[in-house]
Amino acid sequence: MDNSNTTHLKREVLVRLIKAYINQEMKELYKLPFEMRPKNAEVPYRCCIYKERAILRQRAIAGLGLSVETDDEMTSLTQYGQQAIDREKPDEEILTVVETACKGCVPSRVYVTELCQGCVARPCVSTCKFGAIQIKDGKSVIDGEKCKNCGMCMNVCPYSAIVRLKVPCEDACPVGAITKNENGHAEIDFDKCISCGACVGACPFAAVHEKSQVIDVLKQMKAGKKVVAMLAPSVVGQLPVSINKIAQGLIKAGFDEVFEVAYGADVTARTEAVDFKERMEEGHEFMTTSCCAAYNELVDKHIPEMKPFRSETRTPMHYTAQIVKERYPDSVAVFIGPCVAKRKEAQKDEYTDYVMNFEEMGALFVALNIEVAHLEDYQFADVASKEGKNFAVTGGVAESVKVALKDFPELFPTCVNGLNPKSVRDLKNWAKKGQCPEGNLIEIMACEGGCVAGSACLNNKRITTKKVQEYANAAQCINDLPDIELKASK
Amino acid sequence: MEESGKISLELCFGTTCFVMGASKLQDIESFIPPQYKNKVDVKAHTCLDLCKNSTYMKAPFVKIDGEIISEATVEKVIQAIERKING
């Protein structure tokens, strides 16, 4: 969801945390909510200044990479700051619900609004199979005990007077992993959660946070490690400058080298092309791509029947990190992207150490006062292809496999553009039947539009899609570039 | 006011402003009511240098006839344009 107010709050908290760490003022962190909402300050969003401060305090806990769920409300931000500095590795669960920010939306239900005209036809009453609608004082009223939320009455009301009240996070989740607990607040079931980030983007109160690893990354820099940034292809257009200037900004912020993940995407494209050809020659019905981390979690947790159809190919992030570690064995590899699920993937990946999102990258630039437009262009050591650079946009991955296959007329690509209850149902059906009527190479993107629609983007996907495509179109074809030699995977 | 008699609207797309929300102002021209469109002169800047003092948290910044609007949003900017035109 596009909401200036909530993104502004989240980013301001991040900027302040980064500044505190860099200026060695972590001991003063307890003041953060008071500095953002000083005595007698305006209260822009909530009931009172105390509530706003309580929310800001919990946003800072998430910004420090810690769980809000286990907050006892007595531990100060300064103490939490110390915990963040002391930890060896980031938390396993990557999302946290800021309970004080969660509105506790009314449960999702069908509701007759005051627009009901009390008509004589009463199609709502006659349509309801459960006898849940009665006329009281000349207007329709739904009996919550009997209503099954089917929505039939909504569809027949001639005045559109009946609506479905939604809980945005629940409504956005493709796998039913976020629901309201007994206190009415959102709670994530991590056994079900596929880390797609849909709830992060959907909540109008910005109550779902990623647990930031930005302190962990800064700590590695401070310790004098060689820290390498790996920029996801979707970074193009996130700021109104070239990717080379963004990369130079990262160097200024303390990274030692910057790699384009599009370079690793070339390995993914070529490997996936070989995998696909072999499968088709063996008589398989179809193959799905395997570069979307949220899709991979969906298969592992909810559609195990899909495993035989999913390509064995590793992701662009994995290959890029492998290249980084082969070149600089003692370095720290940090993926920078728009995606929640990459944090989960990185925990399992042999080569990737940390993940930062674009919002954190932006906050880092703000905190350090880095004006990327004024920097020179960073020169990447490796040349990525047009196809690799296009991975960030829906259709780009399937297209890359098609191009890498060169001449293979039996290829019929199709895209699942966004995970939602319907596309998840489709995938389950195809896996169960072992057949897909839509095509034989299925590209899956958890976010509608591709990675450029990830939940931590800085710019809108209409603009970034265009920028990514322009950047890709200026690059060489994957088949005109040399193969990338990798040592055997661990 | 510009020499042309138009209201000058200056947007800052420097890194700080962009990260803090100026990305939402990129389409501002399409939100200006049609009757005011030819009365506003829109200019985009790489950086207006307003973030360089300690008030950076108030980004994004916009200038209307030289007057600074901090924490600018589409709504705030459009309201300011209407105020300028209607006095």
The Cβ of residue B71 has, within 10 Å, a number of other Cβ atoms equal to 17
* A368: pLDDT strictly greater than 50: yes
* A358: pLDDT strictly greater than 60: yes
Sort strands A162-165 and A95-97 into parallel, antiparallel or unpaired: unpaired
A 358-387 residues inside an 8 A Cβ radius of B: 359, 362-363, 365-366, 369-374
**pLDDT value, residue A402:** 96
Which residues of chain B neighbour A4 with C-beta distances below 8 Å? 21, 24, 73
- Domain range A109-165, its CATH number among 3.40.50.970, 1.20.1440.230, 1.10.1050.10, 3.30.70.20: 3.30.70.20
The 3-class SS string of chain A reads CCCHHHHHHHHHHHHHHHHHHHCCCHHHHHHHHHHHCCCCCCCCCCCCHHHHHHHHHHHHHHHCCCCCCCCCCCCCHHHHHHHHHHCCCCCCCCEEECCCCCCCCCCCEEEECCCCCCCCCCHHHHHCCCCCEEEECCEEEECCCCCCCCCHHHHHCCCCCEEEECCHHHHHCCCCCEEECCCCCEEECCCCCCCCCHHHHHCCCCCEEECCCHHHHHHHHHCCCCEEEEECHHHCCCCCCCHHHHHHHHHHHCCCEEEEHHHHHHHHHHHHHHHHHHHHHCCCCCEECCCCHHHHHHHHHHCHHHHHHECCCCCHHHHHHHHHHHHCCCCEEEEEECCCHHHHHHHHCCCCCEEEEHHHHHHHHHHCCCCHHHCCCCCCCCCCCHHHHHHHCCCHHHHHHHHHCCCCCCCCEEEEECCCHHHHHHHHHHHHHCCCCCCCEEEEECCCCCHHHCCCCCCCHHHHHHHHHHHHHCCCCHHHCCCCCCCCCC
* C-alpha distances in Å from residue A477, one per residue of A40, A273, A385: 60, 15, 6
Give per-residue pLDDT as tens, A64-79. Answer: 999 999 999 999 999 9
List, in sequence order, every residue forming a beta bridge with B69; answer none if it has no partner.
Answer: B62
The answer to whether the Cβ–Cβ distance between A239 and B15 falls below 8 Å is yes
**pLDDT value, residue B49:** 87
**pLDDT value, residue A307:** 97
Across the interface, of A8, A36, A459, the residue whose CB is closest to B20 is A8
A218-222, A374-378, B66-70: least confident range: B66-70
Q: Domain spanning A4-104+169-212: which CATH class is it, in words? A: alpha beta
| Average pLDDT for A142-164 | 94
| Average pLDDT for A153-174 | 95
| Average pLDDT for B63-78 | 92
pLDDT range class, residue B56, cuts 50, 70, 90:
low
The model's pTM is 0.93
From B13, which residue of chain A is nearest by alpha-carbon distance? A240
Average pLDDT taken over every residue of chain A: 95
Average pLDDT taken over every residue of chain B: 89
pLDDT range class, residue A489, cuts 50, 70, 90:
low
* A109: pLDDT strictly greater than 60: yes
Give B78 to chain A, closest Cα distance, Å: 15
User: What is the value of ipTM here, to two decimals?
Assistant: 0.91
Q: Report domain extents, chain A.
A: 4-104+169-212, 109-165, 216-480
The answer to whether the Cβ–Cβ distance between A365 and B19 falls below 8 Å is yes
Written as six digits, the tokens of A70 are: 């286990």
Domains and CATH numbers, chain B: 7-86 (3.40.30.10)
| Average pLDDT for A22-48 | 94
- Domain range A216-480, its CATH number among 3.40.50.2300, 3.40.50.1170, 3.40.950.10, 3.40.109.10: 3.40.950.10
**pLDDT value, residue A83:** 97
| Average pLDDT for A82-97 | 95
**pLDDT value, residue B1:** 60
Give per-residue pLDDT as tens, A370-410. Answer: 999 999 999 999 999 999 999 999 999 999 999 999 988 89
**pLDDT value, residue A92:** 92
Q: Is A216-480 the same fold as A109-165? A: no
**pLDDT value, residue A490:** 47
* B27: pLDDT strictly greater than 50: yes
pLDDT > 90: percent of chain A:
91
